[in-house]
Amino acid sequence: MNPPEVKAWRKQARQKLLAARSAIAAPVREDLSRRLIERLRPVLKARPGPVSFYWPIKAEPDLKPLMRELDAAGVEVCLPVCVKLGEPLRFRRWTKGAKMARGFWDIPVPADPVEIAPRTLIAPIVGYDGLGYRLGYGGGFFDRTLAKRGDEAQAIGIGWSLFGLSTIHPQPHDIRMAAIVTEAGVRLQDAVPPASEVCYLDQADPAYAGFDTPAETAAKLCALVEQVPPERRPLLDYALWRLGAGSEPAAAPVPPVPLDAILPRIRDDALHAVIAALRDSLH
């Protein structure tokens, strides 16, 4: 893809991912956030402070319980502040009970203007790929911030496994995360790859292990479109977008199949997480 094509693709991807994230039922998001915190806590123990978090907006993972926990343990916690569009972020100390003010886009920020320099930055992700590149909101704040800080700070991308993509089409200005943490696990970018593959299942025909092809999965999901309420439909739309399909019925419609019956036949982990989130959000 050339840069204009990448820009258009990313715009569409953000729309799909953000709509899907907002369509996850609140209790499901709370459970995902709790599981993510369990994964993140040991990662931060090995990282230097101060640690920059974020104030959750737009159905982002809520890490405030971990912020309070680290603050109580004596770890310096801070929050990013956008001073001007197109400039790197700045950071202010946060503590439990700190007076807050409204920053850009009405996002709460610490009212005390004293700035500190974090060495570990937690960056919320819209989507991510297997190489550790983060798809953000498009403003470039974290990339500019990391480029300015250089080796003085590293970023950890935070999100949910259902938003893992095959690629975000990284560009020269994109900066890889030091790690990606989701509720499903931790991907460290400096991890040593295995000497050899455990097996060659990835080279086998999907039917060998009982998996559906993407077209078969898409057909089954399309058969459920009318059964999914409008507030959860973006999750289904996102799943179909990942599969390269629209929400129109297949030329040869298949009878509706429960999501619990579809899940075991999905090979892709991220897609599996999408359908699981949809199922749990319908309960």
Q: What is the pLDDT along the chain (283 residues), one digit of tens a residue?
A: 898 999 999 999 999 999 999 999 999 999 999 999 999 999 999 899 999 999 999 899 999 999 999 999 999 999 999 988 888 899 999 999 999 998 888 899 999 999 999 999 999 999 999 999 999 988 888 888 888 887 788 999 999 999 999 999 998 888 899 999 999 999 887 654 444 444 444 544 555 457 999 999 999 999 999 999 999 999 999 999 999 987 665 555 677 889 999 999 999 999 999 999 999 999 8
In a domain? residue 117? yes
Look at the alpha carbons of 67, 68, 70, 71 in this order and tell me if their dihedral is positive or negative.
positive
Q: Is residue 21 located within the same domain as residue 101?
A: yes
d(CA 17, CA 26): 16
The dihedral formed by the CA atoms of 209, 210, 216 and 221, expressed in degrees to the nearest 10: -110
In a domain? residue 201? no
d(CA 142, CA 178): 13
The range of the structural domain enclosing residue 248 comes to: 206-278
- Split into its structural domains, the chain has a count of 2
Q: Of 188, 218, 244, which closes a domain?
A: 188
Q: Is residue 125 located within the same domain as residue 36?
A: yes
In a domain? residue 197? no
Q: Is residue 149 located within the same domain as residue 249?
A: no
In a domain? residue 199? no
128: helix, coil or strand?
Answer: strand
